[in-house]
Amino acid sequence: MTASPSPDELRKCHAYWRRVYDRLWLGVIAALAIGGTIVWAFTRNIEHFHSGLFLAIFPFVGLLNNHFFLYNPRRDPLKTQQRLVDLAEKQQRNVRTVSLVNGTILLIASPLGIVIGVAAGSEYGMAGAVVGGIIGSVWLTAGLLLIAYWRRLRRRERGHP
């Protein structure tokens, strides 16, 4: 007995998720287009209507990618499943890279953020300086947490607990 499901089960599973994701993409498209239309109706600025339609193009591209590439019903379900597994691994590598880069940027920028936050906040009194320092400290903490997350993902990939 094999560990992988049968092609018919995979085909049904892929069809289900294709329908779910298609509905989500269509909902986002409709929300952006209707939002632009509503704002245009109140402001009578046609740029708002065009902006809503322009922003709706990007989810439409995602819908096409999802429906015809990721979950293409005319492809072999086993190959589709393997492609989805490969895509998930690639996305996990990208998450690790982005986590390391963003964490490093925040870690490097946090002392400057603390100094600027305290200096800008001191114009508004002691409370402003404290809030500015806290914001810079949050940057430092977020940078450290992102780097720790990168290390955890890297260890998990190598097989360590």
| pTM for this prediction | 0.63
**Is 21 within 8 Å of 72 (Cβ atoms)?**
no
Q: What pLDDT shows up at residue 122? A: 80
Cα–Cα distance between 155 and 161 in angstroms, integer? 7
The arithmetic mean of pLDDT across residues 76-105, rounded, is: 90
pLDDT in tens, 8-54: 888 888 889 889 999 999 999 999 999 999 999 999 999 999 999 99
Q: What pLDDT shows up at residue 1? A: 42
Q: Where are the domains of the chain?
A: 1-75, 93-161
pLDDT in tens, 130-151: 888 888 899 999 999 999 999 9
81 closest CA partner among 160, 145, 158, 8: 8
